[in-house]
Amino acid sequence: MDRYDQTKLLLSGIVIGAGAVLAVQTISSVRRQDSTKKTQILKEDIRNGLEDCIGNTPLIRIKHLSEATGCEILGKAEFLEPGGSVKDRVALKLIKTAEEANLLTPHSGDKVYEGTVGSTGVSLAFICRARGYLAHICMPNDQSTEKSSLLLKLGAMVTLVPPAPIVDKGQFVNRARALAAAQTASETEPGRGFFADQFENPANWKAHYEGTGPEIYQQCGGRVDAFVAGAGTGGTLSGVGKYLKERLESVRVVLADPQGSGLYNRIKYGVMFDIKEREGTRRRPQVDTIVEGIGINRVTANFEAGRPYVDDAIRVTDDEALAMARLLVEKEGLFVGSSSAVNCVAAVRTAMKLGPGHRVVTILCDSGTRHLSKFWKKAGEVAGDEEMTLDGVLGCGEVGKGVSLEGEKSGYGV
């Protein structure tokens, strides 16, 4: 073999060796990547108790409402919270704040008292159990029966009282406050009584400023044209509205208010009054509506905390809320409660004012399962063979009579 052939053979060996080394390195690299991928897939995601599951709910596009208005109407799915409603956020914040202030001590006999129409009570009941407390809930006796039944199943004490104005000592909020003070003063009953005070306690709106608001902002990639929500305590509207307004100057914050509530006039005219509540015409002592959870005829600290950030208010009739609830089942499979239906009607009207191409976010507060014996009893069955339209929803009741999507004009100029 001459020198040329030897050189050729040597070079061939070097190439083959290099190729083998490269192949081994490539295979090892792929195996390492596969191993890394498998490690990432198997990464643990374990929550520390049920209360650690609160928050980070999905933001869903409500398809039918979006397509009908030309806007993107998004609902924050708070009915997927572990306790079934947006009030989980508030209840946890109320209790944690009290613990930090040494007003509550777990497993000491301390009891949490609250006056509520139901949802906050349910949230407090399960969180109290999870953190070593008992809950005592006072609520009006005209609320849906499934709420009080659920509270009892969760181990809470329940006191039902007749509906009454806030000036009445027997009103459900005042009753809860008095019971909490009585336990604290008692020499025989163990532990202290803590009145959660969801209407006036700033921990309420801060729960949404620190949680719901940032989540919506991030889920929307920082693009929100309007936020629409009803108000009972006012915490959701205030907390989310304040958070969004501080970051998006042009965002519209809109109150959705049921008939009989005075908040609409509070925003529009600076006064708390509703024609259905004038003396001699009330059918019940609180707010004259079938809707539960939102609407009120007094000013609360949590509502006032966010009032400077509220741009507009939309009043929604009971008939509109009932029709919207049916439409959401018919077109979306969404089975929501009365306050969510009110929010969706107001979200549609806001979208119509803004005009096509805008993004409107609202809150889907809780499921219709909490409203079977009252709101959904009146709404009736959704048979599946009824051709429901959004124009039909907006044509219900005195507020929406004669209004159609085609006839509505843009009112915000943005």
Which neighbouring-strand residues pair with 228?
Answer: 254, 362
How many Cβ atoms are within 10 Å of 227's Cβ, its own excluded? 32
Residue count of the chain, please give it. Answer: 414
Q: Is 87 a catalytic residue?
A: yes
Q: Tell me the C-alpha distance between 254 and 251, whole Å.
A: 10
Q: Determine the residue type at 175.
A: R
Spatial neighbors of 280 by CB under 8 A, at least 6 apart, are: none
Q: Tell me the C-alpha distance between 224 and 245, whole Å.
A: 10
3-state secondary structure of 367: strand
- The encoded tokens of residue 14 equal 């070097």
Q: Which residue has the tokens 């969706």?
A: 344
* DSSP calls for 39-79: HHHT-----SSGGGG-S---EEE-HHHHHHHTSEEEEEEGG
Under a CB-based contact definition with an 8 Å cutoff, are residues 172 and 195 in contact?
A: no
Beta strands 359-364 and 72-77, pairing class: parallel
CA 258 to the chain's CA centroid:
17
171-177, Cβ contacts within 8 angstroms, sequence gap of 24 or more:
171/115, 172/115, 172/116, 172/138, 172/139, 172/140, 173/115, 173/138, 173/199, 174/115, 175/115, 175/138, 176/113, 176/114, 176/115, 176/136, 176/137, 176/138, 177/113, 177/115
Task: Classify the C-alpha dihedral 413-342-64-218 as positive or negative.
Answer: positive
Q: Which of 38, 63, 87, 377 is catalytic?
A: 87
Look at residues 335, 323, 342 and name the one whose alpha carbon lies nearest to residue 368: 335
List the catalytic residues.
87
